[in-house]
Amino acid sequence: MGAELGKYKSVVSARSTDKELLKYAQDGGIVSQLFAFALDEGIIDGAIVAASKEFAAKNPSKVIIDSTNFDMIEPWRPIPAIVSTKAELLAAAGTKYNICPNVALLKEATRSFGLDKIGIVGTPCQMQAVRKAQLYPIGMRDVGASIALAVGIFCMENFPYQGILQLVEDHAAMKLESVKKMEIGKGKFWVYGKRGQVVQLPLKATHKYEQPGCHVCLDYVSNLGDISTGSVGSPDGWSTVFVRSKIGDSVWAKAMAAGVFETQPMEKVKPGLELVSKLANEKITKNRATLEARKTFGVGKALRNPYI
């Protein structure tokens, strides 16, 4: 196990000790619990998360959306929002398997939303965007130093909204508004209905709906988050947590001291870090091959490589 997991100070299997929070969370409730704790402690004064239309309707001042289109926003279309209470965090908990441009709110968070200490959750590519914005703040005036806690989630791929629509309504034959939870795990795409029905699709069926930009992505476990987390590697209901930066280390230590998480050593849990490593390597190898193929895509003509 090496570079594919990024730099980290420690890794554990963990879950929130808050039973109520776990009801809303996707996995071990790491993201929502970290932000709830950081809000309580004044480490952040708001967090950028992926909320929904219902949330936006109730909290119009926490989102930026064009109200003329509001009625056309479909179920399961994520809307970036800035939340500042536990109830709001819970309303936005859980994974939405389609694109939520959280970084779009990063500058405005420090402007009309008035945050000095921003929390942000995002996919590995969004963590890359955040760090590039800190080092090269070309269009991000007075933003970099305000980022107080960046929590990265693991990510194999994402889907455009219409991809999820296709998978759920066509392949799984369920209405999106009747879906309670979606999950990718154990080699399947799972759709859980509000009335208890469960449909599983083979991952093979999902590939053609993946976002093309994901096929050049070289990060599986959010190497650039302060803390990064995902389900892979840990038992059901638990999460694998990498503590990466000095900020991450300090927040994690405080959260542990406050007892908001219970943990198990990574070496003790099944399937363990080997699986995280294996999937990370698979993703990186596959996408490196895509980048290679882009070099000779045409006849003597290449597609652009973003990495320099």
Partner 1 sequence: MADKISLGYTHLSGCTGCTVALADNYAGLLTLLDKYVDLKYMPTLADARHVQKVDVSFVEGSVCINDKLAVEELKETREKSTIVVALGGCACYGNITRFSRGGQQNQPGHEAFLPIGDLIKVDVYIPGCAPTPQMIRNVAVMAYLLLKGTKEQKDLATAFLKPLMTMAQGCEACSCDIMTTVINQGLCMGCGTCAASCPVNAITMEYGKPQLERDLCIKCGACVAQCPRSWFSFDVVENYEAINEAIMAALQ
Ligand X SMILES: Cc1cc2nc3c(=O)[nH]c(=O)nc-3n(C[C@H](O)[C@H](O)[C@H](O)COP(=O)(O)OP(=O)(O)OC[C@H]3O[C@@H](n4cnc5c(N)ncnc54)[C@H](O)[C@@H]3O)c2cc1C
Where along the sequence are the contacts to ligand X (CB under 6 A)?
25-32, 49-50, 78, 92-97, 100, 102, 121-123, 153-156, 158, 184, 229-232, 239
Question: Residue 57 binds which one of partner 1, ligand SF4, ligand X, none, with CB within 5 to 8 A depending on kind?
Answer: none
Amino acid found at 288: R
Binding residues for ligand SF4 restricted to 108-127, rule: CB under 6 A: 123-125
Strand partners, 152: 122, 228
- CB atoms under 10 Å from CB of 34, counted, come to 29
Give me the 145-174 binding string for ligand SF4, x by CB under 6 A, dash otherwise.
----------x-xx----------------
**Stretch 209-238 residues interacting with partner 1 (CB under 8 A):** 211-218, 223-224
CB of 255 to ligand SF4, least distance (A): 25
Residues 6+ apart with CB under 8 A from 164: 76, 97, 98, 176, 182, 209
Closer to ligand SF4 by Cβ: residue 118 or 255 = 118
Show contacts with ligand SF4 in window 189-228 (CB under 6 A): 211, 213-214, 217
Contact 19, 291 (CB under 8 A): no
Q: Does a cis peptide bond (omega within 30 degrees of 0) precede residue 271?
A: yes
User: Of the two residues 123 and 239, which places its CB atom closer to ligand SF4 in the complex?
Assistant: 123
Which residues make Cβ contacts (< 8 Å) with residue 189, sequence separation at least 6? Answer: 167, 182, 183, 200, 201, 202, 203, 205, 206
The CA–CA distances, whole Å, from 251 to 10, 28, 204, 247 equal 13, 17, 39, 6
Instruction: Quote the tokens at residue 26.
Output: 């996707």
Question: What is the contact surface with ligand SF4 in residues (CB under 6 A)?
Answer: 123-125, 139, 155, 157-158, 211, 213-214, 217
Question: What is the contact surface with partner 1 in residues (CB under 8 A)?
Answer: 7, 66, 77, 80, 98-108, 122-123, 125-126, 128-129, 131-142, 144-145, 158, 160-162, 211-218, 223-224, 245-246, 303-304, 306-308
